[in-house]
Chain A
Amino acid sequence: MNPWLHTVLLAEDADLDAELTMDALAEIGLAQHVVHVGDGAEALDWLYRRGRYSDRPAGLPAVALLDLKMPRLDGLQTLEAIRSDPALRHLPVVIFSSSREQRDIERGWALGVNAYVVKPVDVDEFSATIQSLGHFWTELNERAYDC
C-alpha cells in the first residue's frame, strides 16, 4: 500500500504562496497530505528518496504541483526531469505560474504537463482553482496502478 496515494507534492519557493496554497487545500481536507519542498531540486530529491528524504517510505504522490519560477531547478526543468525518467514518467504534474507567457505555456505542453495553471490574483479564485486541482488528482482521478 502506497502511503502517498492522496499526497500532493508542492514545490514552491514563495512561502506566502505556499501558505495560501496549503490554506486552500486545508479547506478541502488535504492539509495533512501536502508535502512542501522549496524548489525543483528538492522535489526531485524527495521523489528519488535522496539526501534528507532517503529514509521516507517508498511510493509516489498523487500529483506534483510545481511553481514555474523557482531557484536552482525551475518548474519546467523539473517537469523535464520527471518525464525523462521511465519510473516517474506517469506522475501527474501541474505547473503554476504567475504569468500568461505564451512561450512558457507552450513549452509546458511540449514537455507533457498535465495542467498549466495561471495563479489568479484574487484569493477566492486562487483557492477555488487549487481546490479543484486537489480534488481532481487526489480523489477523482485516482490512478489504477501504483508505482
Chain B
Amino acid sequence: MPPIIHARDTLRLALQLVAIALVVGVPWLQYMRMLDAMTQSQESVSHAADMISTISTINRNLSDIDSSVVWLALFPGRPGLIEQIEPARESIRAGIAELARLTDDEPAQGARAASYAALIDARQSELDHAVQLIERREISVARELLSNRETTRQLRGISAELRDFELQALGEGRSEAHSSRKHYIVIGTAFATGQLVLLAMIVGLSERQYRRRLQLETRSAYEREQANLILRTIRKPIAMLDQNLRVEMRNPAFQKLYASDQPDITGAPIETIGNGAWSNAAVLQILRDVIALDKELWDYELQQDIPGIGPRIITLNARRMPGSNGQADHVIIGLNDITVARTAEGQIRELNDILNQRVTEVSEANRELEAFSYTVSHDLRAPLRHIVAYALKLERELGDTMSSRSREHLDVIAESARRMDRLIDAMLQHSRLGRGDLHRAAVDMDRLVDEVRSMIDADTEGTPVEWQIDRLPVVHGDASTLRLLWQNLLGNAAKYSAHSEPPRIEVSCRHDIERHEYVFRVADNGVGFEMAYADKLFGMFQRLHSEKEFPGHGIGLANVRRVVARHGGRIWATSTPGEGAVFHFTLPDRVIGSPEGEPS
C-alpha cells in the first residue's frame, strides 16, 4: 500500500478515537462528576436528617424521662415508671455518641453538640436528683426541682441552634446543587449537541460509504456482466480452470468446440473433455505450471483430435489469474484453431514450390532460347556470307563465258542469302524484344509519335499522308521499344494506305479510368484486311498480303504485340477490306510493378 494512503488511514483512525473520546469519554467524566456531587449533596442531606433525628430522639427520650419523673412525682410508687427511665437513658447515651460522631468534622457544630450533651447530662442529673428526692418522699422538693425548666429551656435553645445550623447547611447545599445542576444542564446540552453533530456526521459518513459501496457493487456487477458478454461474444474458445484443472467457466465457443451436443461442461475436469483431446499429460503439466509458477503461455501449438471435427492444429494461450479473497489461483486458457491457416500455408508453400519450379523451367527455357538465338546469330550467318561471296566469286571467275541465265541464277542465290540474313536479323530483334530489360521512365507519346511521323513523311515517296493526331498522354514505359511500336504501327498504316488518295492516318487516345489504362487508336484508310484472318495478324512471319505488293518480313506486328504485352497492355485490330484498318492497344495509366515484364 502506498505510504500516502497509510498516513491518511492513521489520521482517520486518530480522528475516530478523538470522536469516540468526545462522544463517550467526556460525558462519562461529566456524569461521574455529577454523580459525585449528587452523592455529596445526598450525604449532606442525610447528615442533616441524621443530626435532626438524633437530636429529636435524644430530646424525646429526655422528655420521656422527664415525664416519667413528673408522673412519679405525682404518683410516687406507681409501678412501670421508674423502669422506663433506664432504656431512655441508654438511648440518650447512644444518641449523644452518635451526635459526637456526626459532628466530629465540624468544630463549631461539635462545640454546640458538646454543650448540648453537657446540658443533657445536667438535666439528667437534675432528674436523677428528683427521683432520689421522690424516693426519699421529699415530693414537694422534687416538684419544685422539676418545675425549674431552666435547663430544659437552654436545651431547647441549643437544640434549635443545632437544628438550624444543619438546616442552613442543607439549604446551602441545595442552592449549590441547584447552581451546579444549571451548570450541568449547559454542559450536558452542549455535549448532547456535539454528540448529535458527531452522530450526524457518522450517519452521513456511513451513508456515503454505503452509497459508494452500492455504487461499486453496481459497477462491478455491470463490469462482470460486460466481461461475461464479451466472453460470450468472442468466437475463440476461452475457459477458466481452477487449480485442479476443472472447468470453472467457459464461453459458448469452448463448449461448442469440445462438447457441442453434450451438457454444460462447467465443473468437469479438463482431461475428460473432448473425448481425450486434453488427455496429453505434458499439456496438463504445463497448465499446472502456469498456475503454480505464474508462467505465461503464448501460442503453444497443440494437435488435438476433436470428436466430430477431426484432427485440428490449435494454439493455446494461458495465463494465471490470481484468486480473489484468498481463493486459489486459476488459469485462463484461450484457443485458436489455426488448422485452416496452416493448411493454406501448406498449400501456398506447395504452389510456391510449383511456381519456383516453373520459373526455373522458364529460366531454363529462356537460357536455351538465348543459346539458340546466339547460335543462330553467329553460325547461321557464316554460310550465308559464304553463299553470297562464292556466288560472286563464281560470277567473276566465269566472267563473260557465263550465260545471262546462269548469271540470273547466281543473282537469285545471292539475293536469297541476303534475304535470309535480313530474316535472321528480324527474328533476333524480335527475340531481343522479349528478353531484354525494359528501362521504364516517363515517355511523352506526343513527342514520340511526332518523331516517327517525321521519319515516315521523309520516306514517303507518293502522296503525302494526311495526319490527324490528337493530344497523347505521357506514359510509364521503355522509350526505345515504344518507339519501335510506333514505327511499326504508323509505318504499316502508311504502307498499306500508300495507294489511297490521299493516305490518311488518325492517332488518338482515351483514358479508361475504371480499368486504369490508356486506349490508343491508330486508324488508316488503307487496304485493310479480312477479319477472318485477324488472328494471324500478330503472328511471327505472318502476312496477309504478298511481299511483292507490300514489302516486309511479317514480323512488325509480332514485335508490336510483344512490346505492348511487356508493358502490361493488350492489342487488337478491326478492319473492313478496302476501307482501312483500326488498331487499338492499351497501356497502364500508372506505374506498375515488375520492371522486368513477363517472360516472353
Contacts and interface: CB of A to CB of B under 8 A. Distances in A.
A17 B390 CA distance: 11
Contacts of A101: 374, 377-378
Contacts of A99: 374, 377-378, 381, 428
Interface string A2-32: 0000000000001011001000000000000
Size bin of chain B's contact surface? 20 to 34
Interface in B367-383: 374, 377-379, 381-382
Contact of B377 (A16, A17, A100): A100
A135 interface: no
B192 to A, nearest CB: 115
A14 B382 contact: yes
B378 A68 contact: yes
Interface class of chain B by DSSP: helix
A130 to B, nearest CB: 12
Contacts of B390: 16
Interface in A53-104: 68-69, 97-102
B558 interface: no
A16 B391 CA distance: 13
A122 B379 contact: no
B102 interface: no
B418 A121 contact: yes
B388 interface: yes
B384 interface: yes
B31 to A, nearest CB: 120
Contacts of B432: 102
B319 to A, nearest CB: 63
Most buried by B among A69, A98, A101, A102: A98
B417 interface: yes
A48 interface: no
Contacts of A98: 377-379, 381-382, 385
Nearest to A17: B382
Contact of B378 (A20, A97, A122, A124): A97
Nearest to B425: A100
B418 A122 contact: yes
Contacts of A16: 382, 386, 389-390
A126 B382 CA distance: 12
A91 B393 CA distance: 33
Contact of B379 (A69, A100, A121, A124): A69
A126 B385 contact: yes
A99 B378 CA distance: 5
A128 interface: no
A121 B425 CA distance: 12
A124 B388 CA distance: 10
A122 B417 CA distance: 9
A121 B384 CA distance: 7
A100 B386 CA distance: 18
B64 interface: no
A119 B381 contact: yes
B381 A123 contact: no
Interface string B508-531: 000000000000000000000000
A119 B374 contact: no
Contacts of B378: 68-69, 97-99, 101
B392 interface: yes
A17 B374 contact: no
Contacts of B385: 17, 20, 98, 119-121, 123, 126
Nearest to A123: B389
A19 B381 CA distance: 16
Contacts of A100: 377, 425, 428
Interface in B408-425: 417-418, 421, 425
A3 B274 CA distance: 100
Nearest to A122: B388
Nearest to B377: A99
Contacts of B379: 69, 98
Interface in B350-404: 374, 377-379, 381-382, 384-386, 388-390, 392-393
Contacts of A126: 385, 389
B374 A123 contact: no
B377 A123 contact: no
Interface in B436-491: none
A102 B534 CA distance: 34
A16 B381 CA distance: 13
A24 to B, nearest CB: 10
A123 B392 contact: yes
A119 B380 CA distance: 13
Nearest to B374: A101
Nearest to B396: A123
Contacts of A121: 381, 384-385, 388, 417-418, 421
A120 B384 CA distance: 10
Interface in A104-147: 119-124, 126
Given A20-B389, A99-B428, 10 more contacts: A97-B378, A98-B378, A98-B385, A119-B381, A119-B382, A121-B384, A122-B388, A123-B388, A123-B389, A126-B389
3 A-B pairs with least C-beta separation: A99-B377, A123-B389, A98-B381
Interface of A: 14, 16-17, 20, 68-69, 97-102, 119-124, 126
22 contacts: A16-B382, A16-B390, A17-B382, A17-B385, A20-B389, A69-B378, A69-B379, A97-B378, A98-B379, A99-B374, A100-B425, A100-B428, A101-B378, A119-B385, A121-B385, A121-B418, A123-B385, A123-B389, A123-B393, A124-B392, A126-B385, A126-B389
